[in-house]
Amino acid sequence: MRFIHGTRRRKVKRGTRAAVFAAALVLGSPALVRAAEYPGWSDTGWISADERECCTAAIAIASQESERACVIAGGTPSRFHRGGQQGSCSPEFAQIRGGGTLHRCYGAAVVWCN
């Protein structure tokens, strides 16, 4: 068998390039989901709870929304990335008759997505 110089090498290069490209596509797709944080927001509405309970509930709801966004994107939520769930809360309060207080909290949370 006689090969023209370079003919066989080009075929190998084309096959190798195709294999490397296919591997990059397969391995690269999960990496896109892995390197993401998905924000979630919440509003507790007016509730009869103290400010701490209200904020805890708002951040928990926002965290659940963030986890849901991660799952919809095809990932797996990681609750304890970088030391725990990240979240913030903006509380409001209103006085009601009889001296009671109602709280309304807006929460925001970000869950790391693997």
Digitized pLDDT (tens) for each residue of the chain, 114 residues in all: 554 555 444 444 555 555 555 555 444 554 444 458 889 999 999 999 999 999 999 999 999 999 999 999 999 887 665 545 568 999 999 999 888 999 999 999 998 888
Cα–Cα distance measured from residue 5 to residue 24, given in angstroms and rounded to the nearest whole number: 30
Give the per-residue pLDDT at 50.
94
Give the per-residue pLDDT at 77.
87
What stretches of 7-107 show up as alpha helix (H) in DSSP? 7-34, 51-72
Q: How far is CA 15 from CA 25, 26, 87, in A?
A: 15, 17, 49
Domain ranges of the chain: 1-34, 37-113
CB contact at 8 A, 44 and 64 = no
Give the per-residue pLDDT at 86.
67
Least Cα distance to 110 among 29, 36, 33 occurs for 36
Amino acid at 101: T
The β-bridge partners of 87 are 109
